[in-house]
Amino acid sequence: MPSLALGRYHELCVVEHVDGGVLLDGGDDELFLPDHLAPERVAVGDRIEVFLYSGKDGEPQATTHVPAAEVGEVAFLRCVSTTAQGAFFDWGVPKDLYVPPTEHEAPITEGQSYAVVVLVDAKGEQLIGSTRVTRYLDYDVEHLEMDQEVELLVFGQIEAGVQVVVDRRHRGLVHRSTIRQPLPIGSQHVGYVRGVREDNRIDVALTRRGKAAVQDAETVILEALVEAGGHLPLNDRSPPATISEALGLSKKAFKRACGGLYKKRRITLGPDGITLVAS
């Protein structure tokens, strides 16, 4: 078996029980997994999915803890300490993720959170991080399709809109004209592919299109009505900004969804707003 890649999940075979844990077949070396991380009643020959990271001594370590990101992926992480040698981030495994000074996009403050991409160092021996996210994003996006649902992580703001990481590894943009809700740095959202530019950056939206969009808007309105006790002081005369602030919907989407819910006899429409019909 060849050497195992750091920063990835691997399914490894248990080869021996030892004091305090089990040994896993790691190819070139056997990897120790403590008892408290191994499944109960695990037997020799069983296979365990583990994540491989570099320990304090630089040797590969196995864990069943789930990291915030794998190699090449971006996550929003909290800085737990800073030193002259760099910054350290909590990312869900026993050893904090080290971000050397050369990989700081801007000064890093202990206790604050940042978008961090997980990397393997130049020697291929250690996992490190970088807040220079755009430098390491993956621009191979041929697998993405129009209207495909994707995960979004907000990491920046520019004049054109909100910069997002798509599916933890690609660069995307939510255009400002389509935004109907707050998108703070570090927030995560579901989005939909609207197109891919010539430079392979992805245009994304926060809402679906067509019938699916109407269904989504209807769900938003119904949930808001339930939370509000059955009535919302919104109707087709409400200002677009009021509707957007209350529901995160455009006025067009709101009116279309209200029409659908009225036809389904889920709401009543009145001059003072919309009311949920009791089931």
Task: Say whether both 17 and 31 belong to one domain.
Answer: yes
Task: Say whether both 94 and 39 belong to one domain.
Answer: no
In a domain, 1, yes or no: no
- What pLDDT is stored for residue 1 in this prediction? 40
Task: Say whether both 216 and 267 belong to one domain.
Answer: yes
Global pTM reads 0.77
In a domain, 55, yes or no: yes
Task: Say whether both 54 and 103 belong to one domain.
Answer: no
In a domain, 3, yes or no: no
The pair of structure tokens assigned to 136 is: 């390491």
Task: Say whether both 266 and 217 belong to one domain.
Answer: yes
Separation of alpha carbons 250 and 130, rounded Å: 37
- What pLDDT is stored for residue 165 in this prediction? 97
Question: What are the two backbone dihedrals, phi and then psi, of residue 86, each rounded to the nearest 5 degrees?
Answer: 145, -165
Last residue of a domain, one of 92, 108, 135: 135
- What pLDDT is stored for residue 170 in this prediction? 97
Task: Say whether both 158 and 196 belong to one domain.
Answer: yes
161-188 confidence digits (pLDDT tens) = 999 999 999 999 999 988 878 899 999 9
The pair of structure tokens assigned to 144 is: 């993405």
What are the beta bridge partners of residue 186?
A: none
SS3 35: helix
Q: How many structural domains does the chain have?
A: 4
In which order are the strands placed within the sheet that holds 273-276?
231-232, 273-276, 267-270
Task: Say whether both 56 and 33 belong to one domain.
Answer: yes
Last residue of a domain, one of 26, 42, 63: 63
Residues 6 or more apart in contact with residue 115 via CB below 8 angstroms: 74, 75, 76, 77, 131, 133, 153, 155, 156, 165, 185, 186
Residue 159, judged by CB atoms within 10 A of its CB (0-12, 13-18, 19+), counts as exposed
Angle among Cα 59, 7, 24 to the nearest 5 degrees reads 55
Separation of alpha carbons 266 and 279, rounded Å: 8
In a domain, 69, yes or no: no
In a domain, 154, yes or no: yes
- What pLDDT is stored for residue 251 in this prediction? 86
Name residues of the chain where pLDDT drops below 50: 1-2
Which structural domain, as residue segments, surrounds residue 126? Answer: 74-135
What CATH number does residue 198 fall under? 2.40.50.140
Separation of alpha carbons 224 and 220, rounded Å: 6
Residues 6 or more apart in contact with residue 62 via CB below 8 angstroms: 10, 12, 24, 26, 31, 32, 33, 50, 51, 52
Q: Measured in whole angstroms, how far is the alpha carbon of residue 16 from the centre of its chain?
A: 37
- What pLDDT is stored for residue 180 in this prediction? 78
- What pLDDT is stored for residue 125 in this prediction? 85
Residues comprising the chain, all counted: 279
Task: Say whether both 54 and 30 belong to one domain.
Answer: yes
The pair of structure tokens assigned to 131 is: 């807040």
In a domain, 143, yes or no: no
Rg for the chain (alpha carbons), in Å? Answer: 24
What CATH number does residue 223 fall under? 1.10.10.10
- What pLDDT is stored for residue 45 in this prediction? 93
The pair of structure tokens assigned to 145 is: 């399709």
What are the beta bridge partners of residue 63?
A: 51
In a domain, 92, yes or no: yes
Task: Say whether both 239 and 198 belong to one domain.
Answer: no
In a domain, 144, yes or no: no
Task: Say whether both 201 and 214 belong to one domain.
Answer: no
What are the beta bridge partners of residue 76?
A: 115
The pair of structure tokens assigned to 41 is: 């009643």
Task: Say whether both 197 and 217 belong to one domain.
Answer: no
Q: Which residue has the tokens 């929003």?
A: 76
- What pLDDT is stored for residue 28 in this prediction? 77
Task: Say whether both 201 and 258 belong to one domain.
Answer: no
